[in-house]
C-alpha cells in the first residue's frame, strides 16, 4: 500500500537555493533576519541580501568557480547563512563540517568531498589549518571574523568585484554536501541539489507555516541538515526572525526565549527533557512560545506531554526525516488539535510512503503492522558522492528510499517509528557510525575484535557502547578503551560504555550480529560491563 499526503502536491522549486530563500529579501527590507542571541548583532533582510552578494563577488574574484567545493566549518553565527548563500551564488557546493571535528576527521571529509576552499572562524583555525595540511589541495582558508594571515568575510563586504552570474541547473547541481552514514557504514557525502532542498521547504510549509512576526531560536547546528532546513532556510524564506546561539547552554537558551519573545522552537529530545524537568525553567518567562517541534532522535510520549504541560502549549510535536531526504518527510502539523503519544507526524506534501514487510521487503506489510519505512518524493537526494553502490543500496529502481527505520501507520495516517533496521547511533541527535568506531578500536594494539551498538542511558538517550575482545594475554581497562577513542574522535562520537567479551558474534559472511549484542543487553549494566560515563554537564558542553 502506498500512503499519500493529505496535503496537495507542490510544484518542485527549480530555483537556486540562495534565490529560493532570499528571493523576497527586498520585500522584508529592514525587518530583522538574524540576531546574535549573545551580543545582539543584527542583520536585516536588506543587509543579508546585500552582504551575501558582495561576499559571492569576492569569492568569485578569489577564484571560486562553479563545481568547486567549499567547506564551511563554524558554529552557529549570524555570518553562517551569509557565507552559505554567498558560496552557492558563486556556484560552489557547500560541505558543512562539524565544528568539533578533529583535524583527522575534518581532513577525511575534505578529501572525500574534493574541497578546495575552507571558511572557518578564528577559534577553530588551528583545526582547519591542520586538516588542510593533512589533505593538501586547499587553495585558501578564509575566516568569518579576523585572523592574521587570512582574508576575512568582513573585508569581503567591501568588494567591488562584479557579482557572479553562474548558470546553475537546480535539478542537477549540488548545493550542499552534508555527511551522513545512511543506514550503515562510514559517513558519506549526501548530494542535495538546489531543487531537492528548496522543494523540501515548499513541502514543509503547509504543515509548518511561518512568516514575518515569527521568531525562531536557532540552537540546533546549521551544519546539520535539521538546523540548516528548519532554522535557517525555512524561516529566512518567509521573513521570520532567526535568533542565533552558538551552542546549547540552558540558562542562555531560556534567557534568549524570554528576551526575544521566541514563538517557535525546533529542538532535539535532550532539550525537551530539560524544558520538562529542569528547575531553571521556572525562573524565565516562556509564555511567548506557541509551538515546539522535536526531531533528530526518538522522543518519549510521556516526556513530550510533560513538556507541553509545563510550557502551556497544546502539544510537543515531532518531525521525521533523514539527511538523504533533504531532510523532511513527516511532521506534526501546527494546526493539529492534538497528537497521539509517540507519533512522529504525518506525511508532508508531495511525499509517498510504503511500509515494507520485514521478512520480505519486496511486498508491503499488513495494514497497521510494523515494517521498514520507504519514502519517495522530490526531496530525495541525488545520491552519495562517489558511491554508486551505496546509493543503489539506499534507493531502489523505483525511486524508493529504504530508510532502515521500522514503523507503523495508524488509521489516521500518523507514523510511529518503533525501531531501526539500520545500525546508526543517534547520540543527542548527532549521527555516530558504529563502523567508524569499530575501525578505530581495531587499530588498538591490544584489541583483537570489537563491535559497537547504541544503548540507552537513564534519560533514555542513546549512547555508543563498545564490546571489546582483548588480544590473548593482554590486559585492558574500560577507561583505557574510552580514552583511546576520545583522543581520536569528536566528543559526540566517544564510546561511553565498554564491555569485554570472549568473541564478537558474527554471521558466516563476517557481518556483526548486532541483534545478538542488543539481546544480551540488560536494563542495568553488570559489573563486568566496564561502564563509565561523563557527567551530564560535560556531555551537554560537548554536544553543543
Going by their DSSP bridges, the two strands 179-180 and 117-120 should be labelled as unpaired
* Residue 424 contacts residue 183 (beta carbons within 8 Å): yes
What count of other Cβ atoms lies within 10 Å of the Cβ of residue 532?
Answer: 15
Length of the chain: 544
Provide the whole-model pTM. Answer: 0.86
Quote the pLDDT of residue 250: 96
131-149 burial, b at 16+ Cβ within 10 Å, e below that, comes to bbeebeebeebbbbbebee
Asked whether the domain spanning 425-543 has the same topology as the one spanning 41-167, the reply is no
Quick one: which of 405, 341, 339, 398 has its CA closest to 370? 405
**How many degrees, rounded to 5, is the angle at CA 116 between CA 114 and CA 121?**
120
Q: Which fold is adopted by the domain 41-167?
A: Rossmann fold (3.40.50)
Q: What percentage of the chain exceeds 90 in pLDDT?
A: 83
What count of other Cβ atoms lies within 10 Å of the Cβ of residue 204?
Answer: 26
For cell 527586498, what's the residue? 26
* Residue 464 contacts residue 514 (beta carbons within 8 Å): no
- Side-chain-side CA neighbours of residue 406 (13 Å): 13
For cell 492534538, what's the residue? 338
Quote the pLDDT of residue 348: 98
Question: 394-406 pLDDT, tens per residue?
Answer: 999 999 999 999 8
Instruction: Dump the DSSP string for 96-139.
Output: EE-TT--HHHHHHHHHHHT--EEEE-GGGHHHHHHHHHHH----
Cα gap 346→321, rounded to integer Å: 11
Q: Residue 536: pLDDT above 50?
A: no
Q: Residue 34: pLDDT above 50?
A: yes
* Residue 115 contacts residue 95 (beta carbons within 8 Å): yes
Q: Residue 282: pLDDT above 50?
A: yes
Cα gap 18→89, rounded to integer Å: 6
In CATH, the number for domain 425-543 is: 3.30.300.30
Domain positions in the chain are 41-167, 425-543
The pLDDT of 336-352, averaged and rounded, is: 95
Question: 233-273 pLDDT, tens per residue?
Answer: 999 999 999 999 999 999 999 999 999 999 999 999 889 98
Q: Residue 61: pLDDT above 80?
A: yes
Amino acid at each position: 500500500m502506498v500512503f499519500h499526503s493529505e496535503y496537495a502536491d507542490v510544484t518542485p522549486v527549480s530555483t537556486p537555493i540562495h534565490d529560493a530563500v532570499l528571493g523576497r529579501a527586498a520585500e522584508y527590507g529592514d525587518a530583522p533576519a538574524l540576531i546574535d542571541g549573545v551580543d545582539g548583532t543584527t542583520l536585516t533582510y536588506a543587509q543579508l541580501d546585500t552582504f551575501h552578494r558582495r561576499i559571492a563577488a569576492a569569492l568569485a574574484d578569489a577564484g571560486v568557480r562553479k563545481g568547486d567545493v567549499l567547506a564551511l566549518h563554524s558554529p552557529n553565527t549570524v555570518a553562517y547563512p551569509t557565507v552559505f548563500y554567498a558560496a552557492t551564488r558563486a556556484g560552489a557546493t557547500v560541505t558543512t563540517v562539524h565544528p568539533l571535528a578533529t583535524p583527522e576527521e575534518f581532513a577525511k571529509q575534505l578529501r572525500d568531498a574534493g574541497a578546495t576552499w575552507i571558511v572557518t572562524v578564528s577559534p577553530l583555525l588551528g583545526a582547519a589549518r591542520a586538516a588542510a595540511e593533512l589533505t593538501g589541495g586547499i587553495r585558501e582558508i578564509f575566516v568569518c571574523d579576523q585572523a592574521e594571515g587570512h582574508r576575512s568575510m568582513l573585508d569581503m563586504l567591501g568588494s567591488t568585484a562584479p557579482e557572479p552570474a553562474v548558470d546553475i541547473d537546480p535539478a542537477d547541481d549540488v548545493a550542499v554536501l552534508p555527511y551522513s552514514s545512511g543506514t550503515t557504514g562510514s559517513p558519506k557525502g549526501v548530494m542535495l541539489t538546489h531543487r531537492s532542498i528548496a522543494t523540501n521547504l515548499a513541502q514543509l510549509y503547509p504543515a509548518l507555516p511561518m512568516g514575518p512576526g515569527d521568531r525562531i531560536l536557532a540552537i540546533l547546528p546549521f551544519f546539520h541538515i535539521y538546523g540548516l532546513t528548519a532554522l535557517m532556510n525555512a524561516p529566512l524564506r518567509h521573513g521570520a526572525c532567526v535568533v542565533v546561539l552558538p551552542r546549547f547552554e540552558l540558562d542562555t537558551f531560556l534567557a534568549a526565549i524570554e528576551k526575544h519573545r521566541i514563538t517557535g522552537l525546533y529542538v532535539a529530545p535532550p532539550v525537551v527533557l530539560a524544558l520538562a524537568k529542569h528547575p531553571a525553567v521556572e525562573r524565565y518567562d516562556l509564555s511567548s512560545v506557541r509551538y515546539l517541534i522535536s526531531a533528530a532522535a526518538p522522543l518519549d510520549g510521556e516526556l513530550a506531554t510533560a513538556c507541553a504541560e509545563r510550557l502551556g502549549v497544546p502539544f510537543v510535536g515531532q518531525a521525521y526525516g533523514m539527511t538523504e531526504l533533504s531532510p523532511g518527510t513527516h511532521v506534526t502539523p501546527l494546526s493539529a488539535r492534538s497528537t497521539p503519544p509517540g507519533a512522529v507526524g504525518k506525511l508532508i506534501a508531495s511525499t509517498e510512503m510504503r511500509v515494507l514487510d520485514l521478512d520480505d521487503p519486496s511486498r508491503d506489510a499488513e495494514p497497521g503492522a510494523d515494517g521498514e519505512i520507504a519514502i519517495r518524493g522530490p526531496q530525495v537526494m541525488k545520491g552519495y558522492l562517489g558511491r554508486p553502490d551505496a546509493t543503489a543500496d539506499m534507493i531502489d529502481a523505483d525511486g524508493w528510499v529504504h530508510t532502515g527505520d521500522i514503523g507503523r501507520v495508524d488509521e489516521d495516517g500518523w507514523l510511529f517509528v518503533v525501531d531501526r533496521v539500520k545500525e546508526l547511533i543517534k547520540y543527542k541527535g548527532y549521527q555516530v557510525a558504529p563502523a567508524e568506531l569499530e575501525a578505530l578500536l581495531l587499530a588498538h594494539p591490544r584489541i583483537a575484535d570489537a563491535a559497537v551498538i547504541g544503548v540507552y542511558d537513564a534519560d533514555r538517550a542513546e549512547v555508543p557502547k563498545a564490546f571489546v575482545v582483548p588480544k590473548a594475554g593482554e590486559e585492558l581497562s574500560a577507561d583505557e578503551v574510552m580514552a583511546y577513542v576520545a583522543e581520536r574522535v569528536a566528543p559526540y562520537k566517544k564510546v561511553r560504555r565498554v564491555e569485554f567479551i570472549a568473541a564478537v558474534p558474527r554471521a558466516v559472511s563476517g557481518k556483526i550480529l548486532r541483534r545478538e549484542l542488543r539481546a544480551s543487553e540488560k536494563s542495568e549494566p553488570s559489573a563486568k560491563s566496564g561502564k563509565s560515563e561523563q557527567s551530564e554537564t560535560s556531555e551537554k558542553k560537548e554536544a553543543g
